[in-house]
A = this chain, B = another copy of it.
Amino acid sequence: MWKPDRTSKKPLYQQIAEFMERRINYGEYPPGSVLPSERKLASQLQVNRSTIVQAYEELRASGLIESRVGFGTRVSGDKWGFTPKHAANWRLYEESGAFLPNIPFIRRIREEIRKNPDIIDFASGELSADLFPNQAFQKLWQEKPYLDHWGYDDPQGYLPLRETLASFLQTYHGIGSTSSSILITSGSQQSLFLITQCLLSAGDAVAIEDPSYCYSLPMFQSAGLRLLRLPVKDDGIQPDDLLSLYRRHRVRMIFLNPNYQNPTGTVLNPAHRMKLLDAAADLGIPIVEDDPFSLTSFDGNAPKPLKAYDTAGNVLYIGSLSKIAASGLRIGWMVAPQSVVHRLADARQQMDFGLSVIPQWIAAQFLGSKTDFEDHVASLRKALLRKRDLLASAMDEYLKGEVDYSLPQGGLNMWCSIHKKVDDFRLLEEGIKRGVIFVPGSVYGSKPGYVRFSFSRPDPESIHKGIRAFAEGLKHC
């Protein structure tokens, strides 16, 4: 990112004025568009606000920009420098289209984390850098150069990876499949996106867990789906709830995260799994099974996914490397009936023409290298368990009698209910003020008074500090 040169003779404000003038001439800020506020630009370029005030003053004098109270600073419109310029009304275009923006809480949290990398991050459901298998990746990188093709890939994904996954799914999840029924996607996100876009229509009713990760995904609203709630108890959702829901609405699909559910961390009762499969079969509706966490099971005994029992092909099974290896590979997969895989692969060609072969090759090597992969998973489980325990002890120390939480047996998330009545937004801001961030429960569709703490991201040392800060913030709500 460009920063003003503090060693140069040219004053900072002038360097910045010239930089902003360049960007305006590049068309980055079309005529009439709003420039960053003085405060925002100052923090981006790490200078005093007064320097920006001076720089904007300079540009205003040249007639390039204009400020009006309440309207911020804009690039001048029609009478523009010497030649008159018109610009497309971009705002109009940006408001067209099917895709809703991300929900405010999420945007606020992302922006805060970007701005302040030192914040104690209980919000990102992602592994910390030290938990990625960097060594293993470096090793296969060095030992075995990539010598396969650099051209477009098979629409279903890199065949060697699909072959490796077929045996991986059998070994670790008891799921039978062949390479032809596997689709490689950009994380589980793209699998979910393809399903909502290609297999459902606006107005369709889908049943999702309450609370659920799905509520945090605008993609469901963007697709115009009607979301129906299946309450999550301590042992997950109840088959009877599905049946009564179906009687009242014509449910077309069910979205479940049976192992270490996000956000609650609960495990779907094994006895209920067959019941749900049979119910889905009787009603003839598919189940989408999102399974990102099974391998993180702290005691290594996660119940088998529903897909392992699905001989009728009613389950679309989704997995990914994001939570067990490296989210930056963007490797996810879906196991589905042939015809579904073909339909989604064809649609995906229209969206991005498929994934790069390189990360798929890395994933295939890594999953194929039995010992490297299993060593990694073993140490990952240990590390996550340690962090979970640190989080729990911090809770007991600083929040005794103020919150309830249940101890997850796998995954990255701990779900807490707060006894006193709090406003989600207030709670979040009080936390941010004190250097700690987390996700308010309402993001997952639950009533206020819940919080999701992801314990995978912060380093062990800062977990106590973070919860102490949270407790402080809670006091002020």
Contacts and interface: CB of A to CB of B under 8 A. Distances in A.
Given A28-B337, A90-B340, A312-B31, A150 B179 contact: no
A129 interface: yes
Interface string A311-335: 1111100000000001111110000
Interface size classification for chain A: 35 or more
A278 B167 CA distance: 59
Contacts of A281: 85-87
A187 interface: yes
Contacts of A137: 146, 150
Given A88-B286, A97-B200, A362-B358, A313 B28 contact: yes
Contact of A328 (B22, B134, B357): B357
Given A88-B284, A199-B93, A312-B31, A353 B337 contact: no
5 contacts: A26-B313, A90-B286, A93-B340, A94-B199, A96-B200
Given A25-B311, A142-B142, 8 more contacts: A26-B181, A33-B337, A99-B346, A129-B149, A132-B150, A218-B350, A328-B356, A356-B359
A94 B343 contact: yes
Interface of A: 1-2, 22-23, 25-31, 33, 85-91, 93-94, 96-99, 101-102, 107, 126-127, 129, 132, 134, 137-138, 141-142, 145-146, 149-153, 159, 163, 176-181, 185-187, 189-190, 193, 197-201, 204, 217-219, 222, 252, 280-282, 284-286, 307, 310-315, 326-331, 337-340, 343, 346-347, 349-359, 362
Given A86-B281, A142-B145, A187 B352 contact: yes
A320 to B, nearest CB: 10
A187 B153 CA distance: 13
Contact of A176 (B26, B153, B163, B180): B26
Contact of A152 (B86, B204, B327): B327
A200 B96 CA distance: 5
B337 A197 contact: no
Given A137-B150, A222-B350, A330 B312 contact: no
Given A23-B181, A284-B89, A311-B27, A96 B1 contact: no
A91 B340 CA distance: 9
A129 to B, nearest CB: 6
Given A28-B178, A151-B126, A352-B193, A88 B285 contact: yes
A102 B310 contact: no
Contacts of A310: 27
B132 A327 contact: no
Contact of A151 (B129, B339, B347, B362): B129
A176 B358 CA distance: 31
B176 A150 contact: no
